[in-house]
Amino acid sequence: MLHTVNKSPFEKSTFESCLNHARPGDAVLLIEDGVYGAVKGTAVSGQVAKFNGDLKLYALGPDLAARGIKDASLMEGVSVVDYGGFVDLVAKHDVSQAWL
Amino acid sequence: MKFGILVNEGPYTHQASDSAYQFTKAALEKGHEIYRVFFYNDGVNNGTRLTVPPQDERNIQVNWSELGEKYKLDLVVCVAAAQRRGILDESEAKRHGKNADNIAPGFRISGLGQLIETGIECDRVVAFGD
Amino acid sequence: MSMEEDLPGTGDQKKFLYVNRRAPYGTIYALESLEVVLIGAAFDQDVSLAFFDDGVYQIVKDQDTSGIGMKNFSPTYRALGDYEVTRLYVEKESLEERGLTPDDLMEITYEDEDDDWAEKPSVRLVSRAELSEVMAEQDVILSF
């Protein structure tokens, strides 16, 4: 399954809920304000790192760039994709779940 | 692959409609089929032709209409959600005794069944909202 | 899908899950999600609802909206059985986090046509892990 999360983890518990409900092998794509959850050295990055490996984490590049986040600031294991990559992720996984 | 797109927020306040547009465009450019784009909740507000954003800003409604025109997309606004929020086509306006309609080019108003049908017919449904 | 194909007359059905993670009234999502469920019931698909995070607040009992000028739509959940929507998964952890117990929820039931129309509870309390399994089995997940 592909999960998409569009909320900042500092404002809403959506990302946390997604991580707690995702299953090993699932992919999580952070988009919009969700991309703040992919940054290393934050109050939530330790928690996110626990899931890294069981889950595959992605962040949407155009949303990172818009928010001034450089790839070097991202947690280890996070892959950056563009909108075409987003489309490929949806195609690759049987079901997409949007954590709105 | 056959995709269905669900847009649950209106233009400008949330990024949802922009994200949905960029995703839809990328999917079409990769050769996928977009079976339908369904606008629900405040997403119906993407379908008014009366928006006049500043000229140096994107016009979200025009973007959707132009993409719809280019790829012959089925842009569907939910009738129940649209009536709550004042999005009307000519026949809806007439039926409810309103003196104007505002549906944008390329959009059509239809029922929620069109969303369920999208789920049934498509290989993937991708939702954008808040 | 492959499991469904073994059952007569259900080969074309998809498993739809409606995810409810938001409280009612503060935003319209709960109400308009319910409207999708009611319309969707006419399509003869395999439908389930999930209530977790703030979504559990949608089905607590004793909702009284008379003071806020909004329609109390909570009785509609109790009518879902009439629409053959009979599986409402409610996450235990979400209840506990909010200081709620199953007794705080409305009684939502359906009549089982395969069991002499016996009245049965629609609410199925599940753990977080069990809910994850339910979500993993779906063909279409709609959340608003």
For the stretch A31-72, pLDDT in tens is 999 999 999 999 999 999 999 899 999 999 999 999 999 999
Low-confidence ranges of chain C (pLDDT < 70): 1-11
If we measure between CA atoms, which residue out of A64, A46, A57 comes closest to residue A18? A57
Q: What is A2-99's CATH topology?
A: Hypothetical Protein Ychn; Chain: A, (3.40.1260)
Q: What is the mean pLDDT of residues A18-23?
A: 98
In Å, how far is A23's CA from the nearest CA of chain C? 7
pLDDT score for C8: 43
Contact C36 B40 (CB under 8 A): yes
Q: Name B89's Cβ contacts closer than 8 Å, sequence gap at least 6.
A: B101, B103, B108, B109
Task: Using a pLDDT cut of 90, give the percent of chain B over it.
Answer: 100
Q: What is the mean pLDDT of each run of 10 residues along chain B (130 residues)?
A: 98 98 98 98 98 97 98 98 98 96 98 98 98
b vs e for A43-57, b when ≥16 Cβ sit within 10 Å of the residue's Cβ?
ebbeebeebbeebbb
Collect contacts of B70-73 with beta carbons under 8 A, ≥24 apart.
B71/B28, B71/B34, B73/B24, B73/B34, B73/B36, B73/B37, B73/B106
For residue C140, give the nearest of B8, B40, B125 by CB distance: B125
| A64-82 pLDDT, tens digit each | 999 999 999 999 999 999 9
Instruction: Tally the domains of chain B.
Output: 1
Quote the pLDDT of residue C5. 43
CB–CB contacts below 8 A, B to C: 50
Domains and their CATH numbers in chain C:
4-143 (3.40.1260.10)
Q: Domain map of chain A by residue range?
A: 2-99
Chain C environment of A23 (Cβ under 8 Å): 132-133, 136
For the residues of chain A, what is the DSSP string, one character each? Answer: -EEEE-S-TTT-SHHHHHHHH--TT-EEEE-GGGGGGGBSSSTTHHHHHTTBTTBEEEEEHHHHHHTT--GGGBPTTEEEE-HHHHHHHHHHSS-EEEE-
Q: Is the complex ipTM higher than 0.90?
A: yes
The pLDDT of residue C12 is 77
Nearest to B15 by CA among A66, A15, A90: A66
Amino acid identity at A7: K
**Distance between CA atoms of residues B79 and B100, nearest Å:** 16
Encoded tokens for B58: 């994107």
At C118 the three-state DSSP class reads strand
Chain B residue numbers with beta carbons less than 8 Å from the beta carbon of A84 are 26, 29-30
Q: Which amino acid is at B45?
A: N
Interface test with C, best of B120, B123, B128, B130 (most C CBs within 10 A): B120
pLDDT recorded at residue C6 = 44
3-state secondary structure of B121: helix
Mutate to test the interface with B, among C13, C21, C140 (most CBs of B within 10 A): C140
Do residue C53 and residue A20 have CB atoms under 8 angstroms apart? Answer: no
CATH number at residue B83: 3.40.1260.10
